[in-house]
Chains A and B, each alone.
Chain A
Amino acid sequence: MPRKGAVQADDVSVDIDDEQSDSDDGTTKRRANRRQAGGGRGGGGGAKGRGRGKKAESDEEEEEDEAPKGRRGAQNKRPAKKRGGKKDDDDDDSEEEAPKNKRGGAANKRKGGKGRGGDDEDSPAEKGGKGRKGGKKGGKEEEDSKGKKGDGKGKDEKNKKKKKKDDSSSDSNSNSDEEEDSMSEGEMARLMEEVEEKKKLIANIRNKPWRMKRRLVLLREAQQFVDKFEGALGKGKGRKWYAYKVMMTKKWIKFQRDFENFRTACIPWERKIKEVESHFGSSVASYFIFLRWMYGMNLVLFGLTFGLVVMPEVLMGLPYGSIPRKTVPRAEQDTAQDYAVLMDFNGYCKYSVLFYGYYNDQRTIGLLKFRLPLAYLMVGIGTFGYSLMLVIRTMAKNADVGGGDGDEGEFTFAWKMFTSWDYLIGNAETADNKYASITTSFKESIVDEQENQKDENIHLRRFLRVLANFLITCSLGGSGYLIYFVVKRSQDFATRDDLSWYEKNELELIMSLLGLVCPPLFETIAELEDYHPRIALKWQLGRIFALFLGNLYTFLFALFDEVNTKLEEEQSIKNASIWAMKEYYANFSRLVNDSESTPPPMNPADVIRGPCWETAVGIEFVKLTVSDIQVTYLTILIGDFARAVIVRFLNYCWCWDLEAGFPSYGEFDISGNVLGLVFNQGMIWMGAFYAPGLVGINVLRLLSSMYYQCWAVMATNVPHERVFKASKSNNFYMGLLLLVLFLSLLPVVYTIMSLPPSFDCGPFSGKEKMFDVIMETIDLDLPAFMGTLFSYAANPGLIIPAVLLMVLAIYYLNSVSEAYQNSNMELKKKMQMARDEEKNRRNNTDSTNQVMKDLEDLLPNRSLAPPAPPEPEKPPEPEGKPTKTRGGAAGKGVDLQKDVSLASSNPNAREPVTRAPGARGRGQPPGGRGRGGPPPR
């Protein structure tokens, strides 16, 4: 195909040639092109002909090619010859000329189409011609097959004809019909290919490094071409269908593009982020981009939860007050509307759609027979599934884009030089900082380079590092214990009524305070360690992560303790209520003497009910989230805003410079904010199952956070003194998110699979396990064989092999990727070796003797020129062959080497050992000097 394309391009029309060459003349080919043509876009054609057509044809050769083609053309048609001649004259095409010529050819061809024999019988020598002859005889299939058999030349020929015919078809509609009828299938295929190529060009045109004007011109041409010939394609019965298909594809592409545009236009906060970016560089902006991404994800989760769980329950479920779980108990009704109670998510909040307990366990609700319990479980699982998928896909995409295998240290200086300027910066102050930081980083690298390791007091440093880690471990353990202690205490408090505000909110406060106090503490301790800032940042992130994680899990374990006590309590209440019910029925039937069981006429508010641990857990999570929001916002307000105000205005009447001195303005804490976001998301994931409303709260939080933090960062913060780059840590954050997702998945799945749900609240009430909903659906709603299928699938005998298989697959893929990595490393090493060797060789040129020098002059030559050039020199001096010519054939090289090694005592004496065998053979002194002669050019 490449060859065909190239030939055809030369042959058929000038503008095609131009375009095609350009289309291939991607950035990678630029260099070759430039070497040859001395730069400039115009020279693209030649380089491409060589690169793509693999026939090593330069501009001159191309021109030489023209002549025979012209002759060939002459055999068939006059106008073609004329065109060939013209093309020889002005290779720099003028676009008006080409169509004219083509038209001329087309007219001719039209004649040929009617009475083909006249023209074509002249060219029986050409195989393509034969094919056409066959076509005249009538068998189209035959013609096609023969045409296919035809070699490149034949195809050229055909191609040319076809092109013209196509032109004719578009030029004159009157003739076009019969024209197309006589078009052979081979030609069709070729034309189709061409059209496809044009389409590809259109699709890729935005990736080409051309000027806009040129692109527009090319695009117009390509589009015209496609428009012209697409209609011509397809014939007979398939034609309408083809035209329809083409039209639909066009529409579809247009739609896709519009949709893409629409999507880009829908990305919110582009300008806000840009503003932040230009003031603070890409690192701070990366936080906001992350926030935006998070917002998008949460919107989807919100849509899922509200669309499939909350709205159906609100619209189709029983109204508030109809059943006990949807009613505030009598004892709480007096205070149910108090602000304080509502803020604790008790009272009316507790018995609302926000929490698990509100949902009814009816199998189907409403007219639509919506299976709410099933939907509830599925949404719970789907939340995790969707998040997992999204996070992993984003990570994979990031890894793909990030270039991946960037070896630290390989290009330290080059990267610093070419990528350290942040093109986003559009603010003078930030630019100043950036200049300063770049200068420092260069100086640092220079110092590093000059004295690679300076270890003044390694013992002291080690001691300090150990001490720092010890301190941090202590504080981590302390914070964990504190949380455990507080949760335990809160359980005690739960039984009492006379609680102060602090005692009620102790847990949330303590957790938020820990998150507030510990990171700066860690930072202070980390000063002891004296790491490089980037490493220090990683440590800091890791420690904060450990802190949050520890806190979260301590909280969870304490919560599970509470859940267990609640479960016991519930058991007794359940027994009690069942007993009461029995009593009632016994009395009822005794009094009325009627075995019909009517439920006791009791107000739903008065019914005895269990503690409903799910709702309790949900409330804990919601409270935690809300207090987290409050603390974050207050921190920004006090820590950043108040500080900025004080620094700004008190500076006039203070004894030292507040702006430059101690308090100064705050910097935006990227890592802390990102981690906060990640953990907040973790809480959402965990809590969403027990409190569907939590997702909505989170969406609101992220939304307000975006505006609030954008404002705060612009108004109160100053750019970092050392602007860190964040792009690489992007996937780091994602990795954290994935870890948190996994960790928050565990407790939820545990409760779904093994804890018994409350007997009187929530969609799963009355079941042994929440999971039973699925079993029930399988049993009742799906056909019977599905049930048996599932029971087979759930068989351990099947599951264990499946797990084994998966483990094996993972092992296999892992080892494959390892093997690839190894070979990658190997190749890299080889490249490095080749480079070093080359470098050594260059550096040592002067030190080696004359012979070596002579011979080495040959080397670069050989590597550049094709294997052919040395050949002519062989005949005159046959005995020089062993040392001088290196045909490139491996076998020969080995032989030669043997020869030489016999001739000289120690062939390797003056050579670097790493040299490849071929080169070594050539480097031999005995033959090389005398007979080597001038290097073959």
Chain B
Amino acid sequence: MGNKQSIFTAQQLDAYQVVKCFCRLSRLFYRYRDLAPQLVPLDYTKQPDVKLPYELIGSMPELKDNPFRQRIAEVFSEDGEGNMSLDDFLDMFSVLSEMAPRDLKAYYAFKIYDFNNDDFICKSDLEKTLNKLTRSELTEDEVKMVCEKVMDEADLDNDGRLSLEDFQHMIVRAPDFLSTFHIRI
């Protein structure tokens, strides 16, 4: 705890604590730094502009087996390509932490599953999700059918795609969403 002071100023620390969803700031910082010790300075009081490339982020043990790791990195990174600054990194793990509220999680889950960033989950997004989940082991027909069923179930306004409301409506009722959509770090 003592050396935290040298990384962040007290004010920064304070601000992070208010903003973030949980408190293991120093731990997260060291995780971030361990990804590329040569790139990340130990002194963050001057807010250096450092970004880690996606290759490093995606190779974290927490993420490397996740089929959606690229999407996660893209959604949370500011440039949309998976290159993350410390802020983005903190952002990511605060959303994925246990203490983040459900709505926040649902919002980001929606973003993650929205592959083409058009703010709607359309059929192609669903197909991508499904293929990632099953490693493309389902046949063409099966994929199509499952996607249709999902649309059928969750699309409340029948516009052929899932909006955020549709998604939230569906996801907040899911019994497993909160327990599975988090990463302990």
Physical interaction between A and B? yes
**A426 to B31 alpha-carbon distance, docked (Å):** 15
Chain B residue numbers with a CB within 8 Å of A216 are 15-16, 19, 87
Complex Cα distance A274/B183, Å? 9
| From A401, A419, A435, A831, residue with most partner B Cβ within 10 Å | A419
In the assembled complex, the CB of B175 is this many whole angstroms from the nearest CB of chain A, namely 4
Contact A412 B179 (CB under 8 A): no
Q: Does A31 belong to the interface (CB within 8 Å)?
A: yes
Q: Which of A202, A419, A842 is within 8 Å of B180, CB to CB?
A: A419
Q: Which chain A positions have C-beta within 8 A of B156? A: 831, 835
Give the complex CA separation of A842 and B159 in angstroms.
Answer: 10
Q: Is the pair A418, B113 in contact by a Cβ cutoff of 8 Å?
A: yes
Within 8 A of A (CB), among B107-151: 107-109, 113, 118-119, 126, 129-130, 133-135, 137-138, 142, 145-146, 149-150
Q: Which residue of A lies closest to B91 (CB)?
A: A212
B65 pairs with A424, CB closer than 8 A:
no
Rounded to whole Å, the gap between the CB of B120 and the closest CB of chain A is 9
Please state if A413 and B146 are interface contacts (CB–CB under 8 Å): yes
A413-B165 in contact given A206-B21, A423-B66 (Cβ < 8 Å)? no
Residues in chain B near residue A420, CB distance under 8 A: 133, 176, 180
Instruction: Give Cα A202 to B109, complex, Å.
Output: 24
Closest to B165 in A: A31
B177 within 8 Å of A (CB atoms): yes
Nearest CB to that of B163 among chain A residues?
A: A31
Give the residue name and chain of the A residue nearest to B160 (CB).
A842
Q: Is B57 an interface residue (CB 8 A)?
A: no
Residues of B within 8 A of A435 (CB): 67, 133-135, 137
Contact indicator B87/A211 (Cβ below 8 Å): yes
Q: Does A645 contact B (CB under 8 A)?
A: no
Q: Is the CB of B137 within 8 A of A273?
A: no
Minimum C-beta distance from B134 to chain A (A):
4
Q: A593 in the interface, Cβ–Cβ < 8 Å?
A: no
* Cβ-defined contact, B180 with A725, below 8 A: yes
Which B residues are in CB contact (< 8 Å) with A403?
172-175, 177-178
The 8 Å CB contact of A207, one of B67, B104, B145, B154, is B104
| B182 interface residue per 8 A CB criterion | yes
Interface string of A435-455 (1 = CB under 8 A from B): 100110011011001000000
B18 CB to nearest A CB, Å: 6
A542 at the A/B interface (Cβ < 8 Å)? no
CA distance A728 to B182 in the complex (A): 16
Interface size class of B (residues with CB under 8 A): 35 or more
Bound-state Cα–Cα, A208 to B118, Å = 20
Pairwise interchain contact B23-A260, C-beta atoms closer than 8 A: yes
Tell me if A220 is interfacial: C-beta within 8 Å of chain B: yes
Taking a contact as CB atoms under 8 Å apart, the answer to whether A442 and B146 are in contact is yes
Question: Is B96 at the interface (CB under 8 A from chain A)?
Answer: yes
Task: Tell whether, in the assembled complex, residue B21 and residue A427 are in contact, meaning their CB atoms are under 8 Å apart.
Answer: no
A423 CB → nearest B CB, Å: 5
Within the complex, the shortest CB–CB distance from B112 to chain A, in Å, comes to 9
Count: A-B pairs, CB below 8 Å: 205
Are the C-beta atoms of A27 and B62 separated by less than 8 Å?
A: no
Q: CB of A215 within 8 A of chain B?
A: yes
**Distance in angstroms between the alpha carbons of A443 and B183 in the assembled complex:** 28
Interface of A is mostly: helix
- The answer to whether the Cβ of B30 comes within 8 Å of any Cβ in the partner chain is no
- Please state if B163 and A219 are interface contacts (CB–CB under 8 Å): no
* Contact assessment for A411 and B174 in the assembled complex, using a CB-CB cutoff below 8 Å: yes
B3 within 8 A of A: no
Q: Which residue of B lies closest to A835 (CB)?
A: B156
Could you give, for residues 239-271 of chain A, a 1 whenever the CB lies within 8 Å of some chain B CB and a 0 otherwise? 000000000000000000100110011000010
Chain A neighbourhood of B19, CB < 8 A: 205-206, 212, 215-216, 219
**Which of these, B20, B88, B130, B185, contacts A417 with CB under 8 Å?**
B130
Residues in B with CB closer than 8 Å to A123 are: none
A424 to B180, CA, bound (A): 7
Complex formed: what's the CA distance from A283 to B101 in Å? 21
Q: Which residue of A is nearest B20, CB measured? A: A206
Is B173 a contact partner of A405 (Cβ separation < 8 A)?
Answer: yes
Chain A contacts for B18, CB-based, 8 A: 202, 205-206, 219, 257
The minimal Cβ–Cβ distance linking B99 to chain A, given in whole angstroms, is 8
**Cβ distance B93 to chain A, nearest Cβ, rounded Å:** 11
Q: Assuming A212-B19, A257-B17, A412-B153, is B119 touching A34 (CB within 8 A)?
A: yes
A407 within 8 A of B: yes
Does B103 sit within 8 A of A, measured CB to CB? yes
Q: Which residues of B contact A215 (CB under 8 A)?
A: 19
Q: Is B22 an interface residue when CB atoms closer than 8 A count as contact?
A: yes
A-side contacts of B165, CB under 8 Å: 28, 31
Q: Which residues of A contact B174 (CB under 8 A)?
A: 403, 406, 411, 415, 418-419
